[in-house]
Amino acid sequence: MMFRRIAIIAMACLSLSAWLPAQAANPPLSADQARTLLHSLHFRQGHIDVPGAHASLELTPAFSYLDAADARKVLEQLWRNPPDTGVLGMIVPGNDARSLVADDGYAVVITYADDGYVSDKDAADIDYGALLQNMQKATRDANDERRKQGYRTMQLVGWAESPHYDRSQHKLYWAKDLRVEGISSDALNYDIRALGRHGYLSLNAVAGMGQLASVKAGMQEILPMVEFDQGARYADFDASTDRVAAYGISALIAGTLAAKAGLFAKLFAMLLAAKKLVLAGVAAAAAFLRKLFKRKPA
């Protein structure tokens, strides 16, 4: 199995000087090293407890799970992302490593943000067209700084799938079409957020836009497999004791891509097989939102 080299193509963060490009931090693996790493991965199936999130997954036979240690091996050693201790695990289609290196494969990175209960009161009133325009402008505004730092510029082309919030399940999903300078094919960034009592679970898949149909089908299969534990569910919220997040649904969507008020959320984009982009650092976007909306209410 051929291992194709991963290269960093874009980076924007709250403290640019605090992060090095992935190539500097993680040298590329040789083909033998990549094969050894892939063979060392332990794929689990069925019921999966997600530690640190008070949640669980009920995977069908079509999907497998890598725990935090193995997921970080893939992200940091195979795909050469900077270290991220916030990664809780990874969902992989199938039950082997093929999706991790195949041009048409993808994986779903799982993180958790304990920012508090995210109110969904604004969900029905969001103008997703206006929200998209604001996100596109924020992405364009960030490009000058990306260019100064030696990274490629990015363009948010539009929704690959318009945001949808299921109020009965308290789950949100959407997908973005991203274009990176010098890359011939667009990137697909597909997101799921499952809201809980104390925060939200984030599931993020990134592939090429040509994979939209297969990724969409897979993420829609995964959507009902994600549940919070009893006592940590959205319906278990206690207004008298529980913390409420400083932002709502619209900010949750906007905050995962780029910056507000001239600041930059951490965004790492990796190139896999000259086609597939992998975004990491979702937890940093949540931290950015906390700082932003303490100054300026949502």
User: What pLDDT is stored for residue 118 in this prediction?
Assistant: 95
Position 254 scores a pLDDT of: 86
Rounded CA-CA distance 231/64 in Å is 26
Element containing residue 208 per DSSP (H, E): strand 200-208
Q: How would you classify the pairing of strands 63-67 and 55-58? A: unpaired
Q: Are 165 and 146 in contact (CB under 8 A)?
A: no
State the distance between the two ends of the chain, measured CA to CA, in whole angstroms: 48
pLDDT at 286 over 50: no
User: pTM of this prediction?
Assistant: 0.79
122 compared with 90, residue with greater pLDDT: 90
- Dihedral in degrees, nearest 10, Cα atoms 112, 117, 120, 121: -160
Give yes or no for residue 276 having a pLDDT over 90: no
Query: What's the pLDDT at 232?
Result: 97
Task: Provide the token pair at 142.
Answer: 């960030």
Using pLDDT thresholds of 50, 70 and 90, give the confidence band for residue 162: very high
Q: Give the pLDDT band (50/70/90) at residue 287.
A: very low
Cα–Cα dist 119/137, whole Å: 26
Summarised one tens digit per residue, pLDDT across range 212-269 is 999 999 999 999 999 999 999 999 999 999 999 988 999 889 874 432 222 223 333 3
Q: How far is CA 50 from CA 14, 89, 206, in A?
A: 28, 8, 21
Mean pLDDT of 266-292: 35
Give the pLDDT band (50/70/90) at residue 24.
very low
Could you tell me the pLDDT band of residue 147, with boundaries at 50, 70 and 90? confident
CB 53 within 8 A of CB 194: no
Q: Could you tell me whether strands 47-50 and 108-113 are parallel, antiparallel, or unpaired per DSSP bridges?
A: unpaired
CA 99 to CA 87: how far, in whole Å?
19
Question: What rounded mean pLDDT belongs to the chain?
Answer: 78
Residue 1 has pLDDT above 60, yes or no: no
d(C-alpha 156, C-alpha 135), whole Å: 8
The least confident of 104-108, 170-174, 231-235, 292-296 is: 292-296
Q: Summarize pLDDT for 86-116 with one digit per residue, the tens.
A: 999 999 998 878 778 887 888 999 999 999 9
CATH superfamily of 31-254: Mog1/PsbP, alpha/beta/alpha sandwich (3.40.1000.10)
Query: What backbone torsions phi and psi does residue 87 show, to the nearest 5 degrees?
Result: -70, 125
* Per-residue confidence (pLDDT) for residue 26, from 0 to 100: 64
Q: Lowest-pLDDT range, 18-22, 163-167, 171-175? A: 18-22
Q: Which residue has the higher pLDDT, 107 or 295?
A: 107
pLDDT at 17 over 60: no
Query: Which of 197, 203, 198 lies closest to 233, judged by CA?
Result: 197
